[in-house]
Amino acid sequence: MGRVWLTDYPHISLDFEDLTIVTPRITNAYFAKKVVTGGAVPATTPTVAFDEINEGILGRDVYIIVETENFTPPNQSLISTERASLVVALKTGDCNLTGVADETLQITNGTTDVDSITVQVGDTTALNDIEGNCDYGNLDDFIDTAIIKVSLRPNARTDFDTWAENINNSGSDLPTIEIDVVPEDKNMIVDYGPEDNTQGPPLKIGRFMNSEGHEFTLENKNVYEIYHGDNLFNSLGTHTHNEEVVRRRISFIENDFSTEVKYFFYNLIDNCYEICECTQTRVRRRNNGQRITSTNFQSNYNNYTSSVAAPQGGDAETNYYYADGSIISYGQAYGYRRYALTSPNDPNDLVDLIRMPDDLNINFETGLNNVRATFSYRNTARRYCNPACFAGFIGVLIQLGRTDVVCTGMCFGDATSYPSVTHPNGDSVDTAYLSTLAIEQLKVDAFRDYYFTNILRGNISWYPQLTDTAYSNGHNDHLHSGDFNLERVVTIN
Ligand SMILES: [Zn+2]
């Protein structure tokens, strides 16, 4: 039997026994994250699935999944495996994002703003890696599914900032975004919603993510996305490292309307995990410290304006504050160190710092796909760090995948770094030595891989055999990984 339009054949009633009504149907559309299973050693073919998500961050990538039934083009046989195309638009669910509800959002396609995206059902191009491969073993599962990958943002930075300001102004009532779906072929008559729709009759318009439990909100965060070195879905491009062209590993989504920083890691098979969220502050930039003798302190630096006890748990005991913004820290074991402002007359010469988690213990997946980010602190109260530098440190921890990494500190919340004179502003990480030369070398290599350019060691035991390091006085009890190269972080603007 051919295609039957009941309006053309009013003599055929719905209870006609031999009649099967086949209606193209858009059953569901939702925002999603990709979940990949398998793909580890020994080699198994990975499979891919999608989980609905109900929260997004301005500027991050998400998938839009549209599920259909019988979505054969009108001019094709019903048993054809060809599928028609859909047009997907994002709509404001309220006034919070643009000032107008039910407005079509202009989102970037990578180069310009678009108000809709057209995709053929069953096309899995959005699952390709950067080399154009798509190695999932279950692509047949998606013959009736449209898959779109979008960055949730307008193209221009100024528009991004407008959205961010509006999100900020909406407070805890975050803006919602709905998904609008129509067939590309205007002559195609479709039903919306699941056939056994228990919520009521099928939706008359193709609007999704607007029912209770299926809403999607957009929030402001600063975001660092960190990649496994061999992740083939990382589109950040390459740079030269040790005379070798390698993929970049860290990107940054800057959002001036948030003081929170979220860290995500994409593992080898491109599963994404949230590692932690930290609060960011902005403080005056400081120079490297100077050693000050007791005599010098007594005679030249007794004009401090105030003094307070240093944060508990570290080597510093007292901080002295001066009219020119400098700070002198004192502790019994190391004496006095002075940290002057880099630009005493420029209040805008600031650095970003995050307060790091007190201990981190993340563990997802196994084998080559493992995402283990674990460290603890020892003998230090220096728990602030440049936010990008901390992204590098997370990359190091996950590349090592160890449980015994001990951090001996970065910097304080005022950007000083007592007793170290070399890492104000939190661009360096001190760690205790691991147990053998071989595994400590892996740590050195990981710090290099994640953009730390200056690695300092001591001169006892096997420490001099660590390649890609330099000797520096005072490093027999810890490795110093410093001068994190901010320029290697890809800022997505
Ligand atoms: Zn150090």
- Give the Å distance between the CA of 429 and the centre of ligand 1: 6
Whether 299 and 394 map to the same domain: the answer is no
- Cα 284 to ligand 1 centroid, rounded to whole Å: 20
Residue 199 has pLDDT above 70, yes or no: no
Q: What percent of the chain has pLDDT over 70?
A: 94
- Cα separation, 373 vs 21, whole angstroms: 54
Token pair recorded at residue 414? 């005022």
How many whole angstroms separate alpha carbon 181 and alpha carbon 86?
7
The sign of the dihedral angle between the CA atoms of 450, 454, 458, 462 is: positive
d(C-alpha 61, C-alpha 63), whole Å: 7
Using one digit for the tens of pLDDT, what is the confidence trace for 416-450? 999 988 889 999 999 999 999 999 999 999 999 99
Q: What is the mean pLDDT of residues 205-222?
A: 94
Residue 67: pLDDT over 60: yes
Q: What pLDDT does residue 202 have?
A: 54
Q: Give residue-wise pLDDT tens across range 163-192.
A: 999 999 999 999 999 999 999 999 898 989
Q: Which residue is it, tokens 């919520």?
A: 199
Residue 457 resides in a domain:
yes
The predicted pLDDT at position 3 comes to 46
Contact 24, 189 (CB under 8 A): yes
Q: How many angstroms separate the CA atoms of 217 and 210, rounded?
A: 11
Residues 386, 456, single domain; the answer is yes
| Residue 178 belongs to domain with CATH number | 2.60.40.1930
Contact at 8 Å (CB) between 66 and 27? no
- 29 in Cβ contact with 209 (< 8 Å): yes
Whether 69 has a pLDDT exceeding 60, the answer reads yes
Give the Å distance between the CA of 420 and the centre of ligand 1.
6
Helix or strand holding residue 398 (H, E): helix 387-400
Rounded to the nearest angstrom, the distance between the alpha carbon of 449 and the centre of ligand 1 is 18
Angle (deg, nearest 10), helices 387-400 and 437-449: 140
Instruction: State whether 232 and 329 are in the same domain.
Output: no
**What is the model's pTM?**
0.93
**What spacing in Å lies between the alpha carbon of 205 and ligand 1's midpoint?**
61
Instruction: Give Cα 179 to chain centroid, integer Å.
Output: 23
Q: Are residues 126 and 251 in the same domain?
A: no
Most confident stretch, 34-43, 193-202, 239-248, 378-387: 378-387
Cα separation, 13 vs 278, in Å, equals 64
Q: Say if residue 127 is in the same domain as residue 272.
A: no
Question: What per-residue confidence (pLDDT) applies to 20?
Answer: 72
The predicted pLDDT at position 243 comes to 86
Cα–ligand 1 centroid distance for 55 (angstroms): 38
Interval between CA 430 and ligand 1 midpoint (Å): 5
Q: Give 263's contacts (C-beta < 8 A, 6+ positions apart).
A: 223, 224, 226, 274, 275, 276, 277, 278, 390, 391, 394
Identify whether residues 297 and 392 lie together within a single domain. no
DSSP 99-138: SSTTPBP-EE-SSSEES-EEEETT--GGG--TTS----TT
Q: Tokens 């039910």 appear where?
A: 102
121 and 231 belong to one structural domain: no
Flag whether 5 is in a domain: no
Q: What confidence category does residue 197 fall into, taking pLDDT thresholds of 50, 70 and 90? A: low
Residues 307-329, mean pLDDT to the nearest whole number: 93
Higher pLDDT, 315 or 152: 152
| CA 327–ligand 1 middle distance (angstroms) | 19
| Residues 397, 483 within the same domain | yes
Distance, first Cα to last Cα, the chain = 56
- The Å distance, Cα 395 to ligand 1 centre, comes to 18
> pLDDT band at 319, cuts 50/70/90?
very high
Residue 253 three-state SS: strand
Q: Do 384 and 462 fall within a single domain?
A: yes
User: Same domain, yes or no, for 204 and 327?
Assistant: no
For residue 410, report the distance from its CA to the centre of ligand 1, in Å: 7
Q: Is 222 helix (H, G, I), strand (E, B) or coil?
A: strand
Are the beta carbons of 336 and 349 closer than 8 angstroms? no
Cα 423 to ligand 1 centre (Å): 6
pLDDT beyond 60 at 5: no
Element containing residue 158 per DSSP (H, E) = helix 157-169
pLDDT in tens, 342-377: 999 999 999 999 999 998 999 999 988 999 999 999
Q: What is the pLDDT of residue 106?
A: 97
| pLDDT over 60 at 242, yes or no | yes
Nearest Cα to Cα of residue 164 among 109, 100, 219: 219
Tell me what pLDDT residue 1 has. 32
Domain end: 300, 317, 339, which one? Answer: 339
User: Does residue 193 have a pLDDT over 60?
Assistant: yes
Q: In terms of residue numbers, what domain contains 130?
A: 25-219
**Same domain for 300 and 240:** no
pLDDT in tens, 72-104: 998 888 788 999 999 999 999 999 999 999 999
Q: Report how far residue 134's alpha carbon sits from residue 120's, in angstroms, rounded to the nearest whole number.
A: 17
Q: What was the pLDDT predicted at 13? A: 67
**pLDDT at position 391, please?**
98
pLDDT of residue 282 exceeding 90: yes
Q: Which amino acid is at 387?
A: P
pLDDT for 313 beyond 90:
no
In a domain? residue 7:
no
Ligand 1 centre to CA of 57 (Å) is 34
Reading the block at residue 474, the tokens are 């005072």
